Structure 1
């Protein structure tokens, strides 16, 4: 339990925005499968879960404001997540086990097929290693990495959630000197990063034999592609298909297949307008999130799209209007 406790305290920490409560009513807005049957019926949820299991471009979001216990008397952020969102990454904390928001999350998982993952920077993973194995990390860092991978997997099992997202930004000031930062890289290769994905890959991702997700976001690293489920690329402010194509090639290191590539927009900055101006060759100037939705790599269909601080978009009218439009573009409702 000590290992799990340290992980929970350190794995989710940066940039959260804690919503106290939402005043709008929690009225479902129809999405792709909801055109077939009445929203809220058991048939609707069966179709929704089947849609989530099917092969399709996903919608992913980093959600802040989900770490509070919540209350049955108050509609909170977690209640408002659109039904057709595929993967939600906790940004800033998970709700306590047994709390109202925790039980709501589990209901959403079971009823709607939405998957939830935890996010950590590489420096956060290192802090867990130092807390759990302060002596081992100085003598056998690779074994300490194996141990922290098991701790992450144990925490995912304890919380009954769906995977792990490494926010990999090795050149940033807070990250560069960590074991997973550029300080330990030689010609772009950091053996600690590869070992982490090899170790996590035993429990999560496509090599694990489970349905658990292993995600990398920000940058990628040579050799880790076989182990990750998706590469969520922070394509913030991308303004054209050629920019997105370049990001797949440059940030994916020529290794990321198109079906694992998920470009993401920054809704902390641009939630009102759905992103920046995006020049689409057929549609002219449109919001960049919608441009991401229409775009596909020259190599084949993309894995999906996403957004950072997706919860910022709730106050739009209708709520989450850009998220919902983007999902409809990628996965049109059956009429």
Structure 2
């Protein structure tokens, strides 16, 4: 992991691309979004590339934070988002919206984001493709731009975050594809490698680069995060090749899942560590080049063995070790 996240930002932009809303009268004044960073202009590169600064990314489930709003969720919780260690370059607040979890969003804005920024960890919010493809938005550029600006104001500027992650796990009909592509292109004016703002636009998916949407929006995203949960590591190369015509390998991150309480048995984090699927993903490199890093889902469950449904604080031991591996294989 780099200890200079804004340098990471500039480097990956070079490879890839060539107001604040109130939380209500009872909350503290909102923090302004970070000033746009100065980033270099570069020609987009696709296919395998040597990557010197891979990132460790994690999805932190906010309903397992002590500041979550719902009493029935908060009662057993013992973790705070600002306990995430600096080995994580980017974390996603996943993924309850401000109206549904206002207490967490106050803590996110006032406490967690400043603390994470201070240690060099950046923070994004995950939205789902439904928020774009199924939005009540007409099929024209003005409507796309208005919705894109609203998304940025509502989910990025509101808490001083560093960008958006778009989770795509479904097929779209032609109209949905057209709307989604139009809104993501509009988002590209405010986030991502085309924007010059230094703020992220990330695409995460359990599908391939052959999805009809992806070729239309590839140039607007910083990273592609592949939800490879439970997959044979030998399949990563073939899936990567479906994305290779559109992005650099330095933008491609395979990901695994920690075991969620009463959740699916992906078996990505079985022991011993060195024989786990998560470790295999960290060691994997695309043929002829490097990858952008690795990510985990249910970051707050780091260290839990399959079948352990208890709620307890994590020491993030797996992600610390995996961060070291991706740095080592990039050398």
Which TM-score bucket, shorter chain as reference? 0.5 to 0.7
Equivalence for 1:298: 287
Q: Check conservation: 2:93, 2:124, Cα contact below 8 A.
A: yes
Structure 1 residue 312 and structure 2 residue 312: aligned? no
Cα deviations by residue, 1:251-297 (Å, 9 ceiling, x for unpaired) = x263222010011112236899653699xxxx9x8211111111111
Q: CA deviation at 1:142?
A: 4.4
Match of 1:107 among 102, 108, 114: 114
Equivalence for 2:152: 153
Equivalence for 2:128: 121
Structure 1 residue 169 and structure 2 residue 162: aligned? no
Larger RCO, structure (CA 8 Å, separation 6 or more): 2
Q: 1:191 to 1:98 in 2, by over 3 A?
A: closer
Structure 1 residue 91 and structure 2 residue 85: aligned? no
Distance 1:261 1:294 in 2: 14
Equivalence for 2:199: 212
> How many residues of Structure 1 are paired with residues of Structure 2 in the alignment?
258
Using structure 1 for the length normalisation, give the TM-score: 0.66
Using structure 2 for the length normalisation, give the TM-score: 0.67
The gaps in structure 1 that reach 5 residues or longer are 1-31, 34-46, 131-136, 172-180
Q: 1:144 to 1:49 in 2, by over 3 A?
A: closer
Show the 5 A alignment for 1:39-78: 47=3, 56-65=53-62, 69=67, 76-78=79-81
RMSD: 3.4
Cα deviations by residue, 1:59-78 (Å, 9 ceiling, x for unpaired) = 1111102676369xx95331
Distance 2:159 2:239 in 1: 34
Q: Check conservation: 2:229, 2:268, Cα contact below 8 A.
A: no
The gaps in structure 2 that reach 5 residues or longer are 12-51, 70-76, 306-312
Equivalence for 1:265: 256
Equivalence for 1:245: 237
Q: CA deviation at 1:226?
A: 1.1
Equivalence for 2:45: none
Equivalence for 1:39: none
Show the 5 A alignment for 1:7-18: none
Equivalence for 1:228: 221
